Structure 1
Amino acid sequence: MNPQEQQVSKAQDTMSEKTVAHSSGDLEKQDTPQPHELQRKLKSRHLQFVAIGGTVGTGVFIASGTSIATAGPVGALLAYAFVGTLVYSVMLSLAEMATYIPISGAFTRYAARFVDPSLGFSMGWIYWFSWSITYALELTAAGLIVQWWNSDLSIAIFITIFWIPLTAINFMPVDLFGEFELWFSMIKVIAIVGFWIFSICMNAGAGQQGYIGFRYWKSPGAFAPYIVENNDSLAKFVGFWAVLIQAGFAFQGTELVGVGAGESANPRKTMPSAIRKTFWSIFTLFIGTIFFIGILVPYDNESLTLGDTNASSSPLVIAAQLAGVKVLPDIINAVLLTVVLSAASSNVYSGSRILVGLAEERCAPRFFTRATHRGVPYIAVAFTSAFGLLAFMNLSDNGGQVFNWFLNIIGVAGFIAWSCICICHLSFMRALKAQNISRDTLPFVSWGGPYLAWYGLTFCAIITLTQGFTAFAPWDTQSFFISYISLILFFILYAGHKVFTRSKFIKPVEADLVSGKFEDVPSETWEESQRSWWKKMLNAVW
């Protein structure tokens, strides 16, 4: 037996011991109820709408207007479609790992298990920080949306009013939280589909502009020049590239379906379906909305670049105003409020589960794993929701400047997370090969394999490194740090953990492919499937 075979044999013996221990632990759990851990109650539809709730927000209802103003209707459409292909590669990579080892924290724990503990630490903490800060952002946006009706009211009132119930919702049992997110997210889906129907009617000539067709693609044009002068083709390409980070921010959250892997019922069946449906739902909603905005609103419309967070900057409202429909702005503003609140509740859920995953990998204090007898990690929820109070920083000028710096971490953090997911998938496949486990035995197999993972990793890394190109021509130190603060923080966390713990890269033959591996469970009984939602709510109250 050569040294490599001995190493593989030793690793398999170790895995066998872990499997026995894992199985013994499962038997103990069956004999003795474990009240203080996450519970597998999320179904495919819950996972799907939690991700939609966290993804479909101000990025499509408001920021899409800035994207069209920067790159033009076709430039923005191509940018969103291109980022969509990157997200698709990331989601397939995530699906292959999450169906085989569905654990809380998902991809942050895969990084520590398959690649390097320091990578799991830095990736997990910056990802958690991005969602906790996004919670504060959504609370601020909710206050600004209400101020659209009455500007005399202080934004602090609404930050407090919304923070309390949204935090309380996250203390509900996970199946009830999933139902809440499902119905709350349905509002924004219905609103977007309604806008599509409205757009078709207005484009066909129902509005005061008459028949539009593709008029605005001809004048002012399909592509908008950006920054560069005296070179029209390069200026249009720069506009397209500048929108990629905005599109990345809009798509950020699609991967949240993997965060709930540790709480999904029978993940081998629910996870592949949830991941596929989530991606295609979000991709269709984004591409369809960008297309219809692009044919109704010219990219040189000044209202697209106002920068407000309420209905006045929403391209949906601008399209209605151009068509002569006066009542729609109030309706859109009300929808925007539900959009923001739905996204905010998803932020707390995702952030708290990332904390649980970090704690279980010993990258955070162990008390974050504590849960109620209904499986709610109450300490992680409370800690994450507390960061929503950073929204009060907007009440002072200096605090608002610091808060804006925090917000710059959010956009790039998504690309960092996607890059790390692809790295985890490549390491996962390498570990499978080293331990003589065929990918054909997996419950879900990514059709693109390593090639699709390399595609996602390459372009996510390129966008992350080049997204702050405007700081270089001419050089602007402040713009440089604003653009790259998240990347700098990521490397500081990685280097700090590496120096402090002296962690080593995981060898493929020693990667843990057993702990957390989930086998199929029996389907729920007819009585359980017929149990109504209000009975679950009553049971939770008692």
Structure 2
Amino acid sequence: MDHVSEKTDLHTDSDLEKQVTPQEPQLQRKLKSRHLQFVAIGGTVGTGVFIASGTSIATAGPAGALLAYAFVGTLVYSVMLSLSEMSTYLPISGAFTRYAARFVDPSLGFSMGWIYYFSWSITYALELTAAGLVIQWWNSSLSIGIFITIFWVPLTLINLLPVDFFGEFELWFSSIKVIALLGFMIFAICINAGAGDQGYIGFEYWKNPGAFAPYLTDGAKAKFVGFWAVLIQAGFAYQGTELVAIGAGESSNPKKTMPAAIRKTFWSIFLLFIFTIFFIGILVPYDNESLLIGGTNAGSSPLVIAAQLAGVKVLPDIINAVLLTVVLSAAASNVYSGSRVLVGLAEENCAPRFFARTSKKGVPYYAIALTSGFGLLAYMNLSDNGGEVFNWFLNIISVAGFIAWACTCICHLRFMSALKAQNISRDNLPFKSWGGAILAWYGFTFCSIITITQGFTAFVPWVTEDFFIAYISLILFAVLYVGHKLVTGSKFIKPEEADLETDKFQEVESENWEESPRSRWKKALNYVF
């Protein structure tokens, strides 16, 4: 008996020893819904709406631009619902780039993940350059290289802080741009009502020069071409809305925080964009020459042009200061997003495994170091030849968002097929997309069409260089996919074999909890909005 007892005790000690063996540090679930929301807002609401929106109105007119942004918004909505359903069930780092490897094809996960990673990493270099150009508004004699260095160091260090500290930083920094846009809307209402030098405006600019601007051709066809040309610009502006799902692996309670964060993020960004485009369109005529100047500082902002037309003198400096916070907030979000995508790639064996390593506080320092290193590409702008190469790099960014959105919809379709094949009811999911397969097909179809047709100006007339500039993202995506397929010989994932269990989030809820009528009404409204 003593022998048996001794063996049992030894066995128990061995088990205990295994249990107390420390696990390798990993990402920590410290981000709350508000953090996820503002990280996405930080990466999305940037120069696209503060500056590039003017080009959209000049190309398609106020009504054409408004319709384009609204239409792309519906595509983003379909993508966000797909993301919400998958990320609440499997809240993992890297999010949708890993879903592709799990539900569709490892080669798709590889190519989608890397093109998306390059997109955000190179965008970091773009934002650092933009920060330098914003500063040059006040002193053009200073080299942007000075400010690339000045901003690169603290933005990198901020990303090396524990994720909850970073989340708070993004929340407050991103709030500045939201407040600025809300302030502009109030300003626009006052100016349109007659508070400025122009007197009462109303919809005068929708009548003269018109609601739609002709583009490349004549007649009704020219209005449609202008609308279609702005779709890709609107897509660039919305790119980043999906970043809310990148933080799924660090969400404190994905079942509750992810649907709320995704829903609030979409509607916040959508309404900010739609109202900003609308108010710019009623304050600035689309044939205003200043809309076509281009640039990165306040002089190119349609918000400033609207103020100048109204006779307000102090706004340019204020807008430029806001632009600086806009750019820096976006830059910090770029590093966070890129590093988490790289962690996801490493965990799917699509990148060296050491990129998944984290500190004891859950900070993926290797992934952050590489992503921050891409920011140093901004120094290429200091030489003429380097600037040309840098512009080619930037074109990788251009279509990456639409590629990611189309692939996300494919992932959702395959996810639903896997659930059906494995007899798991969608009714039992933490969150269920009301649009289901129809909405996913809608998003995939139009994202694919826009991706393929976005470079149509290279064909009229044919310009070889413009063709490659427009389609370099798509070409790189295809090369990565085919290359990975040839090297690894990966096969498409069968629905019945898709991994729906690993990393599945488990939450224990009280069995005695009863939902109140008020909660049910609130839940019903949240389900719709």
> Does the C-alpha gap of structure 1 residues 152 and 28 become closer, same or farther in structure 2, counting only changes over 3 Å?
farther
Q: Output the TM-score relative to the length of structure 1.
A: 0.90
User: Structure 1 residue 473 and structure 2 residue 460: aligned?
Assistant: yes
Contact 1:266 1:521 (C-alpha < 8 Å) held by counterparts: no
Pick from 293, 298, 308 the counterpart of residue 285 of structure 2.
298
Aligned mates of 1:521, 1:445 — CA distance in 2: 19
Partner of 1:155: 144
1:40-80 deviation per Cα after TM superposition (whole angstroms, max 9, x unaligned): 00000000000000000000000000000000000000000
For residue 171 of structure 1, what is the amino acid of its counterpart?
Answer: L
Q: Which residue number corresponds to residue 398 of structure 1?
A: 385
Which of 453, 467, 474 is the matching residue for 2:440? 453
Q: 1:373 to 1:72 in 2, by over 3 A?
A: same
Q: Structure 2-normalised TM-score? A: 0.92
Q: What residue is the counterpart of 1:350 in the other structure?
A: 337
Q: Does 1:243 align with 2:199?
A: no
- Give the aligned partner of residue 20 of structure 1: none
Which of 306, 313, 316 pairs up with 1:319? 306
Residue of structure 2 in register with 1:272 after alignment: 259
Which of 223, 231, 246 aligns to 1:259? It is 246
Is the counterpart of residue 410 in structure 1 residue 393 in structure 2? Answer: no
Change (3 A) 1:387 1:216: same
Residues 128, 351 of structure 1: 8 Å contact kept: yes
Distance across 1 between alignment mates of 2:458 and 2:19:
58
In 1, the alpha carbon distance for the partners of 2:508 and 2:257 equals: 12
Q: Give 1:409 deviation, angstroms.
A: 1.3
- Inter-partner Cα distance in structure 2 for 1:482 and 1:114: 32
Pairing partner for 2:98 from 109, 112, 115:
109
Which of 503, 507, 519 is the equivalent residue of 1:516? 503
Distance 1:346 1:285 in 2: 19
Mapped to 2, the partners of 1:141 and 1:522 lie a distance apart of 47
Mapped to 1, the partners of 2:338 and 2:481 lie a distance apart of 20
Aligned residue pair count: 495
- Distance in 1, matches of 2:508 and 2:252, equals 8
Superposed displacement of residue 34, structure 1: 3.8
Distance in 2 between the 1:416 and 1:125 partners?
12
1:143-542 equivalence runs, <5 A: 143-228=132-217, 231-520=218-507
Between the aligned partners of 2:387 and 2:192, the Cα distance in structure 1 is 41
Q: How far apart in 2 are the matches of 1:28 and 1:411?
A: 52
Quote the RMSD (CA, aligned, Å): 1.3
Deviation at 1:522, TM superposition (A): 7.4
Secondary structure of 2:197's partner? coil
- What are structure 2's unaligned runs of at least 5 residues? 1-15, 511-529
Q: Is the 8 A contact 1:35 1:375 kept in 2?
A: no
Task: Identify if the C-alpha distance between structure 1 residues 71 and 329 changes in structure 2 by more than 3 Å, giving closer, same or farther.
Answer: same
Structure 1 pair 469/521, CA: closer, same or farther in 2 (3 Å)? Answer: same
What letter corresponds to residue 326 of structure 2 in structure 1?
Answer: V
Match of 2:79 among 90, 100, 121: 90
Cα distance, 1:519 vs. partner?
Answer: 1.0
Aligned match for 2:116, one of 117, 127, 152? 127
Distance (whole Å) between structure 1 residues aligned to residue 108 and residue 55 of structure 2:
34
Which residue, out of 10, 30, 42, partners 1:53? Answer: 42
- CA distance in structure 2 between the aligned counterparts of 1:505 and 1:215, rounded to whole angstroms: 56
Residue type at the aligned position of 2:32? K
- What SS does structure 2 have at the residue aligned with 1:271? helix
Taking structure 1 as reference, are residues 29 and 333 closer, same or farther at Cα in structure 2, changes over 3 Å only?
farther
- SS of 1:42's equivalent in the other structure is coil
Cα distance in 1, alignment partners of residues 506 and 110 from structure 2: 28
Q: Are 2:35 and 1:38 equivalent residues in the alignment? A: no
In 2, distance between residues paired with 1:381 and 1:303?
A: 39
Aligned partners of 2:334 and 2:36: how far apart in 1? 14
Partner Cα distance (1:251, 1:522) in 2: 36
Q: Deviations over 1:357-388 (max 9, x none)?
A: 00000000000011000000000000000000
Q: How does 1:7-86 map to 2 (within 5 A)?
A: 34=23, 36-86=25-75
Shift of 1:32: 5.3
1:520 Cα deviation after fit: 1.5
User: Aligned to 1:210, what secondary structure does the other structure show?
Assistant: coil
Q: How many Å apart are 1:473 and its aligned residue?
A: 1.1
Contact persistence 1:90–1:418 (CA under 8 A): yes
Q: Which amino acid aligns with 1:358?
A: L
**Runs ≥4 residues deviating over 2 A:** 27-35
CA–CA separation in structure 2 for the residues paired with 1:29 and 1:519: 23
- Structure 1, unmatched stretches of 5+, are 1-26, 524-542
Distance 1:34 1:46 in 2: 27
